[in-house]
A = this chain, B = another copy of it.
Amino acid sequence: MPGEFEPHAGCWMLWPERGDNWRLGAKPAQQCFVAIATAIARFEPVTMGVSRAHFEDARHQLPAAIRVVEMAHDDAWMRDVGPTFVVHDQRGLVAGVDWGFNAWGGLDGGLYFPWHDDDLVAGKVLEIAGADRYRAPLVLEGGSIHVDGEGTLLTTEECLLNPNRNPSLSRAEIEAYLRGYLDVERIVWLPRGVYLDETDGHVDNLCCFARPGVVLLSWTDDPDDPVYAICREARAILEKERDARGRVFEVHPVQQPGPLCQTAEESAGLAYSHSAKPRRPGDRLAGSYINFYIANGGVVMPLLDDARDAAAVAAVQACFPDREVVGVPAREVLLGGGNIHCITQQQPIGSQST
């Protein structure tokens, strides 16, 4: 599995549609997704998967250069439901790992039911991409792992060892699958993700690679914030661990926004459904600037209408001196439970099998 910072053939996304997770019939989120897709499309081709019912509207809202394909889904988190693309070292052939998916915890803390269309998304992407599909006997979301492309994987115990994902597998068995499917050697386990992250602490909202050996980490210096302990315990582990090549990690903290909370107006814009996670006024949002997408020559990162936005852009830019950092207002994505990294999935460059 190449690092996200390696060259891409393009980026896959899904269109936000469900009114019980995206307020006001998902219209503000759709406009936000359009802005994000448009920003990424400056750097690489973007394909948007859209359900039959929303196809015409999405095609109309999106710029012509963005490819729109019909693809049913239960929600719009392509990072978590899409394939994890891998490249065969010898032949350069691109293939995809199609993990099991249970909506971040199934009937034990998952975020909605059913999730069957989501589980088919990876296979549908791989059909269109003309890439082989490896169905893995492991429930895993793409947002719960980051790799450096040189044998190192970052993840969190809170998510990967959660009994609502793979209750019958031990840590060693999960590690064996990660090694086998992704060709990684060193797995760095951080204990927890961002406070109240409803994915059970996906690493991609807390920490990511800028390049091998260099990591960005969401941060706060407020001792009253639960994230205070979380980011410090993560840094302590990163400082102690070595990557697969034996390097010490260079850790760059990025001050988090907020704390940000759901407003009453935002809550009132949601449709009710029995199975979807309730989003109440005052609920704290798992805000983080780390949840960005690394594109070919660019970084597309969330702006959160917060006083720390400008400093966050500067901090990210400092870690990516050769890329143009583009901030896109993305509170609407955060309201849905994630951010730009969660709604994107890179396809690395390689040869196709068909």
> How near does chain B come to A206, taking the closest CB pair, in angstroms?
34
A24 at the interface (CB under 8 A from B): no
Which B residues are in CB contact (< 8 Å) with A354? 45, 65, 67
Which B residues are in CB contact (< 8 Å) with A51? 52
Quick one: closest B residue to A68, CB to CB? B127
**Which stretch from A69-77, A107-115, A291-299 is at the chain B interface?**
A69-77
User: Is there an interface contact between B52 and A127, defined as CB atoms closer than 8 Å?
Assistant: no
**Which stretch from A30-38, A116-124, A167-175, A239-247 is at the chain B interface?**
A116-124
User: Is there an interface contact between A127 and B56, defined as CB atoms closer than 8 Å?
Assistant: no
Which B residues are in CB contact (< 8 Å) with A72? 52, 55, 70
User: Is there an interface contact between B55 and A120, defined as CB atoms closer than 8 Å?
Assistant: yes
Which residues of A (33-86) have their CB < 8 Å from a CB of B?
45, 51-52, 55-56, 59, 65, 67-72
User: Is there an interface contact between A117 and B67, defined as CB atoms closer than 8 Å?
Assistant: no
A selection of 21 A-B contacts at a CB cut-off of 8 Å is: A45-B354, A52-B52, A52-B117, A55-B72, A55-B120, A55-B124, A56-B120, A59-B123, A65-B354, A67-B127, A67-B128, A67-B130, A67-B354, A68-B127, A69-B69, A69-B124, A69-B127, A70-B70, A70-B72, A70-B124, A128-B128
Given contacts A59-B123, A70-B72, 9 further A-B contacts (CB under 8 A): A51-B52, A55-B72, A55-B120, A65-B354, A68-B127, A69-B124, A69-B127, A70-B71, A128-B128
